[in-house]
Chain A
Amino acid sequence: MTTYRVRHNASRFLIHLTLAGGGAFMLVPFFWLLSSSLKAPHEIFVFPPKWIPDPIRWSNYVEVFEVVSVARYAANTMTITIFATLGVILSSSMAAYSFARLRFKGRDIMFGLILSTVMLPYVVTMIPVYILFSRLGWIGTFLPLIVPDWFGGPITIFLLRQFFRTIPLELEDAARIDGASRPRIFAQIILPLSRAALTVVLVLSLLQNWNDFLTPLIYLHKRDMFTLALGLNALQYFEGGLDWTHYVMALASLMVLPVVILYFLAQRAFVEGIVLTGLKG
Chain B
Amino acid sequence: MQSSPAQSAPEAQTDRGLRFFQRLSFEETFFGWLFIVPAVLGLLFFRLGPVFASFYLSFTKYEIITAPRWIGFANYTKLVTDALWLRSIEVTLWYVTLFVPLSLTFAYGVALLMSRNVRGITTYRTLWYLPSVVPVVASATIWRWGLNPEFGPINYPLKVLGLPAPRWLTDPDWIVPSIVFIGLWGLGNSVLIFLASLISVPRTFYEAAEVDGANNWARFRHVTLPLTSSIIFYQLIVTVINSFQVFGVAYILFVSNPSASSAGPNNAALFYVLYMFRNAFGYFRNGYASAMAWILFLVIMLLTIILFYSQRRWVYYETEGGGS
Question: Pick the contact of B142 from A33, A44, A48, A218 — CB < 8 Å?
Answer: A33
Q: List chain B residues, Cβ under 8 A from A271.
A: 125, 129, 192
Q: For residue A245, which residues in chain B have a CB less than 8 angstroms away from its CB?
A: 145
Is the CB–CB distance between B193 and A274 below 8 Å? yes
Does B43 lie within 8 Å of A44, measured CB to CB?
Answer: no
Interface size class of B (residues with CB under 8 A): 35 or more
- Does the CB pair B145–A32 fall under 8 Å? yes
Chain B residues with CB under 8 Å of A220's CB are: none
List B contacts of A262 (CB < 8 A). Answer: 133
Q: Are B136 and A213 in contact (CB under 8 A)?
A: yes
B217 CB to nearest chain A CB (Å): 13
A142 sits at the interface (CB 8 A): no
Check B293–A263 contact: CB distance below 8 A. Answer: no
- Residues 110-137 of chain B, each 1 if its beta carbon lies under 8 Å from chain A, else 0: 1001101010100111111111111111
Report the bound CA distance from A280 to B51 in whole Å.
Answer: 21
Let me know if A279 and B130 touch, CB within 8 A: no
Instruction: Let me know if A20 is at the binding interface, CB within 8 A.
Output: yes
Contact yes or no, A23 B134, CB < 8 A: no
Contact for B35 among A26, A95, A153, A237, CB less than 8 A: A95
Residues of A within 8 A of B150 (CB): 45, 47
The verdict on B48 contacting chain A, using a C-beta distance below 8 Å, is: yes
Complex interface residues of chain A between 5 and 54 (CB less than 8 A to chain B): 12, 15-16, 18-20, 22-24, 26-30, 32-33, 36, 44-49
Q: Give per-residue flags for A80-116: 1 if the beta carbon is below 8 A from chain B beta carbons, else 0.
A: 0000000000011011011100111111001001100
Q: Closest chain A residue to B247 by CB distance?
A: A214
Q: Judge whether B244 is part of the interface by a CB distance below 8 angstroms.
A: yes
Asked if A275 CB lies within 8 Å of chain B CBs, one says yes
What's the tally of chain A residues with a CB closer than 8 Å to chain B? 98
Q: Of all chain B residues, which has the CB nearest A211?
A: B135
A267 to B203, CA, bound (A): 26
Asked if A124 and B51 make an inter-chain contact with CB atoms under 8 angstroms apart, the answer reads: yes
Q: For the complex, give the distance between the alpha carbons of A91 and B239 in Å.
A: 28
Flag whether A58 is at the interface (Cβ < 8 A): no
Interchain CB contact under 8 A, B145 and A44: yes
- Nearest-CB distance from A147 to chain B (Å)? 9
Contact indicator A123/B127 (Cβ below 8 Å): no
User: Tally of A-B residue pairs with Cβ under 8 A?
Assistant: 280
A113–B77 alpha-carbon span in the complex (Å): 33
Given A117-B43, A122-B245, A281-B242; A218-B252 close (CB under 8 Å): no
A128 within 8 A of B: yes
B32 and A103 contacting across the interface, CB-CB below 8 Å: yes
Majority secondary structure, B binding face? helix
Report whether B138 and A49 are in contact in the complex, using a CB–CB cutoff of 8 Å. Answer: no
Q: How far is the CB of B213 from chain A (nearest CB, A)?
A: 15
Contact across chains for A20 and B153 when beta carbons are under 8 A apart: no
| A131–B143 CA distance with the chains assembled, in angstroms | 34
> In the complex, what residues of B have CB within 8 A of residue A274's CB?
189, 192-193
Given contacts A29-B185, A117-B47, contact A211 B136 (CB under 8 A): yes
A126 CB within 8 Å of chain B: yes
Known A44-B151, A213-B136; contact A119-B293, beta-carbon cutoff 8 A: no
Q: Which residues of A contact B (CB under 8 A)?
A: 12, 15-16, 18-20, 22-24, 26-30, 32-33, 36, 44-49, 91-92, 94-95, 97-99, 102-107, 110, 113-114, 117, 119-132, 134, 148, 150-154, 157, 182-183, 186, 207, 210-211, 213-214, 217-218, 228-229, 232-233, 236-238, 245, 248-249, 252, 255-256, 259-260, 262-263, 267, 270-271, 274-275, 278-281
The 19 sampled A-B contact pairs (Cβ below 8 Å) are A22-B110, A23-B123, A23-B128, A29-B131, A91-B39, A95-B35, A97-B35, A102-B35, A110-B36, A127-B289, A127-B290, A127-B293, A151-B43, A151-B46, A182-B27, A183-B31, A252-B142, A271-B129, A281-B241
The 4 closest A-B pairs by CB, nearest first: A151-B42, A23-B127, A152-B39, A281-B242
Taking beta carbons and an 8 Å cutoff, which residues of B are in contact with A?
Answer: 2, 4, 8, 25, 27-29, 31-36, 38-43, 45-51, 53-54, 57, 64, 110, 113-114, 116, 118, 120, 123-139, 141-146, 150-153, 156, 159-160, 185, 188-190, 192-193, 196, 231, 234-235, 237-239, 241-245, 247-248, 251-252, 256-258, 273, 276, 280-281, 286, 289-290, 293-294, 296-297, 300, 304
